[in-house]
Amino acid sequence: HLVMGESDQVARQKMARFTATLDHLGVEVSTGRVVDFRARQFIVKEPTQGTVPLIYPCHFNGGFVHWPRLGGRKPNAILDDERTRELFVPGAIYVLVKRFSAKEERRRIVACMYDPHRISAKHVGFENHLNYFHAHGRGLSMDLAKGLTAFLNSTLVDVYFRQFNGHTQVNATDLRSLRYPQRAELESLGQEVGEVFPTQGELDALIERELF
């Protein structure tokens, strides 16, 4: 850990309060199964009958996945075929984190929720540039997912994460190494998040109020 100044030291001290591992939370994090250049023959620009949503980082928008994104460079779906089904996960609530962030992005960790109430599909594919949090292959509860998304998107976590991660990649191993608030704390935090995620300032104030 490289502590560069007072704000880094404060972040490190605050993060020391958290002791829960993902195992304690009953949560795992995995890398998206769809490697698009290997599955190119099955990937399509627009969803049609017989396809499954395919989620890329470009579908992140304001704390939630917004799908489809038509007219963009990235495709939106993958064929539901016996050769592709091992790439899918059940349509449920997940927390997604970008594996690669641009240097100009404000945060190194960028998280959002996949909410099946907003995207009606029995299965979904997550592209390999994403990590996804799940409960041993199943979806998360709404409150836990909202709380986890809020925590990961906080300035506190971003400042702390930059102390031991000097590049723009956020791998599943990095997310496993973090310590988290207890499950009840994350669920309580999630209960404070409505249909729209707070702005960065509001989110940081919420973290401060609920966790410290």
Write down the pLDDT at residue 9.
85
Helix (H, G, I), strand (E, B) or coil at 133: strand
Beta carbons of 99 and 170 less than 8 angstroms apart: yes
Residue 3 has pLDDT above 70, yes or no: no
List, as one string, the DSSP characters of 75-127.
--EEE--TTTGGGEEESS-EEEEESB--TTSS-S--EEEE-TTTS--SEEEEB
Dist. CA 140–CA 71, nearest whole Å: 31
Q: Calculate Rg over the CA atoms of the chain.
A: 17
pLDDT in tens, 137-186: 999 999 999 999 999 999 999 999 888 766 678 999 999 999 999 999 99
Q: How far apart are the first and last CA of the chain?
A: 23
Rounded to the nearest 10 degrees, the angle between the axes of helix 142-152 and helix 200-211 is 110
- DSSP β-ladder status, 60-61 and 64-65: antiparallel
Write down the pLDDT at residue 102.
64
Phi, psi of 57 (to 5 degrees): -55, -30
Where residue 108 falls among pLDDT bands split at 50, 70, 90? Answer: confident
Pick from 58, 14, 6: nearest CA to 151: 14
Dist. CA 123–CA 194, nearest whole Å: 25
In 10 A of CB 177, how many CB atoms? 13
pLDDT in tens, 46-63: 999 999 999 999 999 999
**Looking at the whole model, is its pTM more than 0.75?**
yes
Where residue 74 falls among pLDDT bands split at 50, 70, 90? Answer: very high
Write down the pLDDT at residue 163.
80
Dist. CA 150–CA 69, nearest whole Å: 24
Structure tokens at 45: 């620009």
